[in-house]
Structure 1
């Protein structure tokens, strides 16, 4: 992985323009359509999230990561069959390689589903979050923030739908009554602690849209279709939005789900971020929408990665990704779905 100094060329999108008069909305939709086809990554402004809530989320996340390890391990993810809770740096993997970040995963607050012999395996993903007793204020702050970025994600998805020549609720049948709402608070240690410069390996996100809050330290990079890596540094007051594989599937590649990664920060420097991934319901299947002729002719087809096949069945796709990225949780709770270990490995 090579560190470079190229300036960001990501565009800015003011989502408040989507709610303006017909002429402004039309101009906005045309600009958004071009961005979606180009690379699907942009800075979002006009989102209306209270700056105090943003500051509180970042500050409380830093307090969590500053806790003694025993307090963080109280909610270690391996204790949850639903892939919720805390991971130490190096335990999550991207394309088989270790990501050097510690994090907490929070998703929809739910009761576990009843599991029987005919229940699909993805149903085991549904369940409660884990919350640290040493920092009780983390739960209300993260749930309040999760609600706000869910609002943003749905608003952005509606604008994307109109930009694709569809009704703004074209995807509602596969995310209502509520989408999946994976939220991660993340700390990247400096390269004096990390064992490589891979904060997060190169990948595409799996949902509809990602809403990323960056603190002050850069590290995010985006790869263009031509293979050029662009920096996406933090800009106060903005979120980074990127489109995920569900939109690439639904539009047969008209909308890009861009490859991106995070470079571990320099020695002695920490990087903090809060990432929100909005997806469809686990029981949904992703359709191919009929684009207008002028957009249909620009479809590029689905990216095929032999190491990471994409399924239209949402629950199967999510479970596949979680089993690959968290092998310790997979071994603890999903051993029946894993291939048998070689005899030498068990000895």
Structure 2
């Protein structure tokens, strides 16, 4: 289907009272009705995007051995490289290779009584053959974080809250998560191709606060709407923005965390994207906002999946998702957790 997602210009947020109010009204409608929109006017310099794209392509062009040297299975912090077909959504392999990067932090000391999520902070893995990758991706991550925080403050105002309503759950130590992703073209000879599903990544919701997606000119992202699947066709100079389940949780469903998927490219083509996910602090608990009566009346309640329940304790929620998405990492580094024993051998829910 053709793109019908709204396009919002973030520069309107700082362009005077009338423009600001119009932007907030458009934002409120977008996040309630669709949960996805294009964002222009974000202000990130072109050179940061150019550097991130260039280094992402160089990474995927590295010899397979250089990428495998930083395989995610080596990291208890779920950082590093994943081969195409190794991560699964709804039990089916996602036909994409990717590098997961987070905030560069020291690992926390292990204690017997500490919750499992305290093992998640830690350093990234970087390829020795590509020293420029680190600076380019961390610079992009910081720029994307600043845009996401501006948007969260706009969300708060659009919902009748103080601009800093969400600040306590991300201040000082936000949960930053960046992926560079390559979707190879699918053919019957691909290891996952015999299933015939064309699944770049299966239908799912994002679990955090906000996602900022930079996509190349190869389409494939689709958004589930009341009218069916809508193609989020690439528009130069924009991000795709979508709300995550934490915002749905905070607003009793007023904000929609929308199901989406990526269809694998056809044989002979490939798709590259850079996805940034802003999450809450791992030690935070997601609040339930008190919405104005007219907005509360429009809240639809939560639409969470019974197979993937949502927790207000952020660390537990994030840990659950990481264990299910990467059972190989879970078994190597978290075998002491009871829930790991129940993970299916072939993968889990993402």
> TM-score, normalising length from structure 2?
0.94
Aligned counterpart in structure 1 of residue 120 of structure 2, from 114, 118, 125? 125
Q: String of CA shifts for 1:201-246, please: whole Å, max 9, x gaps.
A: 000001111000001100000001x251100011110000000001
Q: String of CA shifts for 1:71-125, please: whole Å, max 9, x gaps.
A: 0011110000000000001111112221110000000110000111110001111
1:56 deviation in Å?
Answer: 1.7
Aligned counterpart in structure 2 of residue 73 of structure 1, from 56, 61, 68? 68
Contact 1:284 1:314 in 2 (8 A): yes
Alignment of 1:245-284 (within 5 A): 245-284=245-284
Contact 1:58 1:215 in 2 (8 A): no
Change (3 A) 1:86 1:298: same
Instruction: Tell me the secondary structure at the aligned position of residue 212 of structure 2.
Output: strand
Q: Which residue of 2 aligns with 1:111?
A: 106
Q: Moved runs in structure 1, 4+ residues, more than 4 A?
A: none
Instruction: Tell me the secondary structure at the aligned position of residue 154 of structure 1.
Output: helix
Contact 2:141 2:178 in 1 (8 A): yes
Contact 1:88 1:102 in 2 (8 A): yes
Instruction: Tell me the secondary structure at the aligned position of residue 33 of structure 1.
Output: helix
Question: Are residues 1:318 and 2:299 paired?
Answer: no
Contact 2:323 2:340 in 1 (8 A): no
Change (3 A) 1:229 1:178: same
Q: Which residue of 1 aligns with 2:217?
A: 216
Contact 2:331 2:340 in 1 (8 A): no
1:340 deviation in Å?
Answer: 3.8
Change (3 A) 1:294 1:106: same
Q: Matches of 2:227 and 2:314 in 1, distance apart? A: 28
Q: Matches of 2:111 and 2:47 in 1, distance apart? A: 45
Alignment of 1:122-201 (within 5 A): 122-192=117-187, 193=190, 194-195=192-193, 196-201=197-202
Name stretches of at least 5 consecutive residues in structure 2 with no aligned partner. Answer: none
Instruction: Tell me the secondary structure at the aligned position of residue 336 of structure 2.
Output: helix
Q: Matches of 1:304 and 1:242 in 2, distance apart? A: 16
Contact 1:96 1:325 in 2 (8 A): no
Contact 1:223 1:260 in 2 (8 A): yes
Q: Matches of 1:34 and 1:293 in 2, distance apart? A: 16
Instruction: Tell me the secondary structure at the aligned position of residue 257 of structure 1.
Output: coil
Q: Which residue of 1 aligns with 2:5?
A: 10
Contact 2:176 2:279 in 1 (8 A): yes
Q: Matches of 1:28 and 1:69 in 2, distance apart? A: 46
Aligned residues: 338
1:12 deviation in Å?
Answer: 0.5
Question: Are residues 1:285 and 2:280 paired?
Answer: no
Instruction: Tell me the secondary structure at the aligned position of residue 21 of structure 2.
Output: helix
Which deviates further from its counterpart, 93-102 or 144-153? 93-102
Q: Matches of 1:135 and 1:151 in 2, distance apart? A: 26
1:322 deviation in Å?
Answer: 0.5
Instruction: Tell me the secondary structure at the aligned position of residue 335 of structure 1.
Output: coil
Q: String of CA shifts for 1:163-192, please: whole Å, max 9, x gaps.
A: 001111101111101311100000001012
Change (3 A) 1:340 1:56: closer
Which deviates further from its counterpart, 198-207 or 301-310? 301-310
Contact 1:100 1:199 in 2 (8 A): yes
